[in-house]
Amino acid sequence: MALNHEDRVCVGVIAGAHGVRGQVKIKSYTEVPEDVAAFGPVVDDAGNRYKIAITGYAKGTVLTRLEGVTDRDRAQEMRGTKLYVNRDLLPKLIENNEYYYSDLVGLTVESPKGEVLGTVKGVFDFGAGDILEFDSVGGQSEMVSFTESSVPVVDLEGKRIVVDMPEVVLGRED
C-alpha cells in the first residue's frame, strides 16, 4: 500500500541502470547522498518496497542494489522512479530556515508585491548552490538561486514562497 503524499518524503530518484546485474544509479535528494539508504526500505509511487544496498558512487549518483532487481533490463525500466520514505523516519528540522525540499514542491511562487509568478517544481544542487525551479504562469520553466536574498519568504503553512526575481527576467517578453 502506498503512503499518502503528506506522510512521505522523496529521498531520491532512479537515474538508470549500472552494469548488467541489476544495479541502479540513484540521484539522492538527501544532504549526505548515502543517506538515501539510511532510513530503511524505500517505497515507489505504486507502493512497491525496496531495500537498498549501496555499492559505490559515480558521477553524482549513488550506485545501489535494490532487493528484487537482478538484471539490467529491469533496472533500466525503473529509470525515473521516485523513492520515498515515511516522514516520521527523518530527523526533525530544528531551525526555522530548514526545509525538506519535497515540502516546497507545489507551493505558489509570489513576487514581493504578492503577484503570482508560478508553482515550485523542484530544488536542485548542480554544484554551485541550491537552485529553485518553478513553472511560471506563462508556462515557462524559471530558475533562481535559492538564497535568502532571492527567496526571502518560505511560508509552508500559507503554501507560498516569495521569490525576488531580477527585473530583467520579470520584464522579458514571452
134-163 pLDDT, tens per residue? 999 888 899 999 888 999 999 988 999 999
Question: Is residue 6 over pLDDT 80?
Answer: no
Instruction: Report the pLDDT value the prediction gives residue 28, as an integer from 0 to 100.
Output: 87
Task: Check the CA dihedral 50-127-31-57 and report its sign.
Answer: positive
Instruction: Report the pLDDT value the prediction gives residue 14, as an integer from 0 to 100.
Output: 94
* Predicted TM-score (pTM) of this structure: 0.69
Task: Check the CA dihedral 65-61-9-72 and report its sign.
Answer: negative
* Share of residues in the chain with pLDDT > 90 (%): 49
Instruction: Report the pLDDT value the prediction gives residue 9, as an integer from 0 to 100.
Output: 84
Residues with Cβ within 8 Å of 74's Cβ and at least 6 positions away in sequence, in order, are 22
Say whether domain 5-88 belongs to CATH 2.40.30.60. yes
DSSP run (H or E) holding 72: helix 72-77
Task: In whole angstroms, give the CA distance from residue 131 to residue 48.
Answer: 30
DSSP run (H or E) holding 136: strand 130-136
Say whether domain 101-169 belongs to CATH 2.30.30.240. yes
The three three-digit cell numbers of residue 107, written as one number: 507551493
15-37 pLDDT, tens per residue? 999 988 899 999 888 878 899 99
Mean pLDDT, residues 96-113 taken together:
85
Domain ranges of the chain: 5-88, 101-169
